[in-house]
Chains A and B, each alone.
Chain A
Amino acid sequence: MDFAFVLIQLLNGLQYGLLLFLVASGLTLVFGIMGIVNLAHGSFYMIGAYLAWSLAGMLDSFAAAILLGVPLTVVLGMGLERLLFQHLYHRDHLYQVLLTYGLILVFEELRSVIWGDDVHGVAVPALLSGSIPLTDNLSYPIYRLVISGFCLLLAAALYWLIQKTRLGMMIRAGSSNREMVQALGINIKMLYTLVFALGVALAAFAGMIAAPVSSVYPNMGAQVLIICFVVVVIGGIGSVWGALLASILIGMTDTFGKVLLPEYAGMSTYLLMVLVLLWRPEGLFKRG
């Protein structure tokens, strides 16, 4: 492997890491900041991907599919929070695990009923479908670079929202002491509904944006769920920057693991998690 290819692999690792961050960002918010264990995160990702596929087919435009799909998932998130999640904030985490595991099964069946069990591909928007040649026989899809850009933007926006705005301050306060925040006259119920809906919308948005590169298929949520939890745990619960750094670390480990030690590639990211947790049990960044 010569130097040019090492550089390209670095780019691959970075790009994969940013994609991971996009998928994990919703979980960072809901699990990391709000403290809700949401195993159904992967299902929302899948719903987003299927929405992108079916809406893009109906509207004949990928951008329109996203513009219409995101509000739909916000409504879905608000409905779920009002109907189900808000009853569990005071209970043990185990109840949230049970509920969200049940939701995985429900959404998987609904997906089967509504959209069927076939594999689908979503076309990359024509404007972004080109590739940039890197070497004589390898080129890089522009759409992947666009996704990376989106991810960086999203990371910055999330950081700003949580650390720099009044809303973010209320969210952080609410997750550490719900009653006190309520006593101070803040409508914590409404706030939680909003933030949860945002988390659902982020997961679904990730599914939509990733659909053209990942294709759309049953059980796709299960595959991203575990890696999302790994991202949040390595990054440190509650830290957006931690999650971003962890995503990129995992992306690099996975990429070079596959190339250098193909036989053990399945283990490399989990090995990374073990090492990080031995070194810093609370994750790379503590809540700050």
Chain B
Amino acid sequence: MNNFNRRDFLKTGAALAGLSGAGLAGALLPASMAQAQSTAGKIRVGLMLPYTGTYTPLGVAITNGFKLAVQERGGKLGGREVEYFVVDDESNPAKAPENTNKLIQRDKVDVLVGTVHSGVALGMAKIVREAGVIWINPNAGADEVTGALCAPNIFRTSFSNWQNTYALGKVVKQRGHKTAVFITHKYAAGDQMMASFKDAFEKEGGKVVKELYLPFPQVEFQALLTEIASIKPDAVAAFFSGGAAVKFIKDYQAAGLKGKIPLFGPGFLTDGVLEEVGDAADGMETTLHYADGLDTKKDNAFRLAYVKAYKLQPDVFAVQGYDAGQLLAAGLDTVKGDINNKAALIKAMEAAKIDSPRGVWTLSKAHNPVQDIYLRKVVGKQNKVMGVASKALADPAHGCKA
């Protein structure tokens, strides 16, 4: 199996395709001319996102959102047309360096947009820091990206893992709960969300009496649910997403815990799964930087345009992709499309005030959104906004020296 796997197969295929492509281009243009063309002509945007595997819908939503932002500006950013270079990162951290280099070195992109999976994003960060190319991260929440690994050319338009659960910790305490159990998969995102929840909850005088972990990506919760029942905390906070979230919410109800011990979570727990969990999530409160029913002019217009363009309902990931486009547009408009004037571009992006469907946000010093975290409640099949859990919350950017 080690001798010939899918990667080798794809490589062979890509090499063949590359050969024929390069041959064609080489015949038409001398290399130097092709290069000159690219700097004077279009903005080269590299999209490095998952288009296969579990995170495919997220990759697609981000791509759609980004392209919508560009289309709304007549297909141009800073007066220049946009050319896309797309790489499927398969959410595979092992391939992150290779895929990042493909876009930076082979395709010579001016801007890199990606990705969903934090492990892949950390792989990208190392290369991007050295290459100096502008990188906009439209999802991956790893605290390090705008923490220890922060750099002038690294931007994020989504959230840090720290943000949503920090707001959650305060909410759970405000509900009058004194003890809580936190349950999640044993991996980096779970650890980071657990830590910030605990930080906020205990700062307010609560106590996290037990941290429960499950090996990623296992979904056999029964033993841990029994453990929760025996501990009898005032509240439970959980972070899972996708299939694991569906199963956890349903199992929580089936174990008879729903209604006895209230279940909270960052919004990822209930986003995109409400159709599937039935009534098991009814009344659950979560925190996230986006919500249903915001009913602002910007959000309504965005939702309408998105549905019209893609025949799909937008979600938080589409918003993050859309804002990645908006952030880049804001920067390029200021420098009039001069992508090579990097210092001015970065300064312009730093100063941008993004009028997002989620509400207006700005960037922190480490380039993470300073944004309102909403308190939401599951009503029917919606994550209905109930108010703001934490106003203009900025990530503390632990370890950022830039």
- Interface set of A (CB-CB < 8 Å, partner B): 1-2, 5, 8-9, 12-13, 15-16, 97-98, 101, 105, 112, 117-121, 123, 131, 133, 135, 137-141, 143-144, 213-220, 223, 254-256, 258-259, 262-263, 265-266
Contact of A258 among B223, B242, B277 (CB under 8 A): B223
A123 pairs with B224, CB closer than 8 A:
no
Contact residues in A for B215 (Cβ distance below 8 Å) = 265-266
B223 pairs with A9, CB closer than 8 A:
yes
Which chain B residue shows the least CB distance to A101?
Answer: B1
Kindly provide the distance from the CB of A60 to the nearest chain B CB, expressed in whole angstroms. Answer: 15
Most buried by B among A112, A120, A133, A138: A138
A219 pairs with B54, CB closer than 8 A:
yes
Contact residues in A for B278 (Cβ distance below 8 Å) = 121, 123
Roughly how many angstroms separate A120 CA and B223 CA in the complex, as a whole number?
23
How many residues of chain B get a CB closer than 8 Å to chain A's CBs? 46
Contact residues in A for B212 (Cβ distance below 8 Å) = 258, 262
Kindly provide the distance from the CB of A211 to the nearest chain B CB, expressed in whole angstroms. Answer: 11
Contact residues in B for A112 (Cβ distance below 8 Å) = 52, 56
Kindly provide the distance from the CB of A217 to the nearest chain B CB, expressed in whole angstroms. Answer: 3
Contact residues in A for B277 (Cβ distance below 8 Å) = 121
Closest 5 CB pairs of A and B: A217-B243, A266-B215, A139-B256, A138-B229, A121-B276
Q: Does B26 contact A (CB under 8 A)?
A: no
Most buried by B among A16, A255, A263: A255
- Interface set of B (CB-CB < 8 Å, partner A): 1, 4-6, 52-54, 56-57, 186, 211-220, 222-227, 229-230, 232, 242-243, 246-247, 250-251, 254-257, 260-261, 272-273, 276-278
Main secondary structure of the interface of A (DSSP, over half): helix
Which chain A residue shows the least CB distance to B60?
Answer: A117
Once A117-B54, A214-B247, A215-B243 are accepted as A-B contacts, the answer to whether A131 and B256 lie under 8 Å apart by CB is yes
Once A98-B4, A215-B246, A255-B223 are accepted as A-B contacts, the answer to whether A263 and B218 lie under 8 Å apart by CB is no
B261 pairs with A219, CB closer than 8 A:
no
Most buried by A among B5, B232, B256, B272: B256
Contact residues in B for A140 (Cβ distance below 8 Å) = 255
Contact residues in A for B225 (Cβ distance below 8 Å) = 138
Roughly how many angstroms separate A218 CA and B272 CA in the complex, as a whole number?
15
Contact residues in B for A137 (Cβ distance below 8 Å) = 229, 232, 256-257, 260-261
Once A117-B56, A138-B256, A218-B53 are accepted as A-B contacts, the answer to whether A258 and B230 lie under 8 Å apart by CB is no
Contact residues in B for A256 (Cβ distance below 8 Å) = 223
